């Protein structure tokens, strides 16, 4: 089974919280965790820290997103299980960060490992095929974070198989 993540989590208790997504709601629908600080839903440092803690307490995975090496270095201090580098200008596009801006992937891997050696680095933004995945792994990433390549595919199963072939 492919692990599915929620797009966003709010660090709030469940209950009367209209417009928020508590970790428990994510857990109840069977998702494995959530993105935190995606460029389309950025949060401040204290909210990111609270969301990572909340997900951890619920037994869910936090994938903290960063758009730059500097931001990745700062967010690595939260010691999340995963940190994804996703330059906003490449998200949902036709060019993968691993080929268009490989120095960002390699630099993020180095920066994150220096701060939080246990945090696994993912490469996102424009990852579409096995070549993009293989290049991300060559640059030191532990894996990839993908949405558009599968969600927009005419045949999502084939798109997933193509991406997995890069490992």
The residues spanned by each domain of the chain are 34-164
Give this prediction's pTM: 0.92
Give the pLDDT confidence score for residue 82 in this predicted structure: 98
Distance, in Å, from the CA atom of 148 to the CA atom of 146, rounded to the nearest integer, reads 6
pLDDT of the residue at 134 = 96
Bridge partners, 143 (sequence order): 122
Mean pLDDT of 79-90: 94
Which residue, among 153, 145, 73, has the nearest Cα to 113 in the 3D structure? 73
pLDDT of residue 31: 95
Q: Name which residue leads in pLDDT, 4 or 138.
A: 138
pLDDT tens track for 4-40? 899 999 999 888 888 899 999 999 999 999 999 999 8
Q: Which CATH architecture has domain 34-164?
A: Alpha-Beta Barrel (3.20)
Mean predicted confidence (pLDDT) in 130-140: 96
Q: At what angle do helices 69-76 and 102-115 cross, to 10 degrees?
A: 20
CA atoms within 13 A on the CB side of 143: 10
Active centre residues (catalytic): 38, 86
Q: What average pLDDT does the segment 78-93 reach?
A: 92
In 3D space, the residue among 68, 132, 71 whose CA is nearest the CA of residue 100 turns out to be 132
Q: What is the dihedral of CA 100, 102, 108, 110, to 10 degrees?
A: 180
Share of the chain above pLDDT 70, in %: 100
The pLDDT value recorded for residue 77 is 97
Per-residue pLDDT, 10: 93
Cβ partners under 8 Å of residue 84, min gap 6: 35, 63, 64, 65, 66, 121, 122, 123, 124, 145
Instruction: Give the alpha-carbon dihedral of 3, 72, 100, 61, to 10 degrees.
Output: 0
Q: How far is CA 124 from the centre of its chain?
A: 7
pLDDT at residue 120, as a whole number: 98
| 92-128 per-position pLDDT tens digit | 888 899 999 999 999 999 999 999 999 999 999 989 8
- Alpha carbons within 13 angstroms on the beta-carbon side of residue 88 total 10
User: Where does residue 94 rank: exposed (0-12), middle (13-18), buried (19+ CB within 10 A)?
Assistant: exposed
Instruction: Give the model's confidence band at 48: pLDDT under 50 very low, under 70 low, under 90 confident, else very high.
Output: very high
Residue 18 or 76, more confident: 76
């Amino acid at each position: 089974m492919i692990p599915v993540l929620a797009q966003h989590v709010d660090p709030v208790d469940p209950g009367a919280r209209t417009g928020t997504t508590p970790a428990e709601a994510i857990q109840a629908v069977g998702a494995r965790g959530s993105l935190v600080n995606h460029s389309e839903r950025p949060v401040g440092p204290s909210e990111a820290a609270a969301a990572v803690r909340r997900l951890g307490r619920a037994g869910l995975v936090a994938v903290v997103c960063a758009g730059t090496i500097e931001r990745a270095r700062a967010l690595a201090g939260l010691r999340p299980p995963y940190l994804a580098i996703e330059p906003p200008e490449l998200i949902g596009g036709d060019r993968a960060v691993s080929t268009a801006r490989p120095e960002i992937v390699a630099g993020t891997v180095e920066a994150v490992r220096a701060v939080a050696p246990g945090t696994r680095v993912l490469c996102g933004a424009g990852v579409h095929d096995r070549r993009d995945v293989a290049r991300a792994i060559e640059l030191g990433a532990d894996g990839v974070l993908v949405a558009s390549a599968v969600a927009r595919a005419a045949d999502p199963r084939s798109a997933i198989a193509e991406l997995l072939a890069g490992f």
